[in-house]
Amino acid sequence: AQSVTQPDIHITVSEGASLELRCNYSYGATPYLFWYVQSPGQGLQLLLKYFSGDTLVQGIKGFEAEFKRSQSSFNLRKPSVHWSDAAEYFCAVGSLNAGNNRKLIWGLGTSLAVNP
């Protein structure tokens, strides 16, 4: 069955520290992947996306993610976290091969807290 796993429900980091949020997927076809961020009580904002090509993708707000097909992962990274990065982060995976039967599969999210 297709699935997306974000193993960490909640992460706390200190401001200025580096960050890595994990996303693992199980998908039978060629995937495309997204990371979204959600501030409390708000909608989701796209951070970055991977469809093809360079497996290291740059996004907004200083985030980057690396697609590793061999590990079925698409981890999100930031070298230095700011207090304003505190939010919920969602990974989503879709398929390039499944036609109109494809859907986006969403992870359950990782809540990020930032200590001053």
Partner 1 sequence: DGGITQSPKYLFRKEGQNVTLSCEQNLNHDAMYWYRQDPGQGLRLIYYSQIVNDFQKGDIAEGYSVSREKKESFPLTVTSAQKNPTAFYLCASSIRLWDEQYFGPGTRLTVT
- The residues of the shown chain that bind partner 1, judged by CB under 8 A, are 9, 34, 36, 41-46, 49, 90, 94, 100, 102-104, 106-109
Looking at beta carbons only, is 43 or 116 nearer to partner 1? 43
Looking at beta carbons only, is 8 or 15 nearer to partner 1? 8
* Helix runs in the chain, H state only: none
Tokens representing 9 are 């429900």
What is the rounded CA–CA span in Å between residue 53 and residue 31?
A: 12
Output the smallest distance, CB 80 to partner 1, in A: 27
Output the smallest distance, CB 15 to partner 1, in A: 26
Looking at beta carbons only, is 15 or 106 nearer to partner 1? 106
Output the smallest distance, CB 109 to partner 1, in A: 5
Give the single-character DSSP code of 29.
Answer: S
What is the rounded CA–CA span in Å between residue 88 and residue 51?
A: 23
CA-based nearest residue to 49, from 35, 70, 28, 64: 35
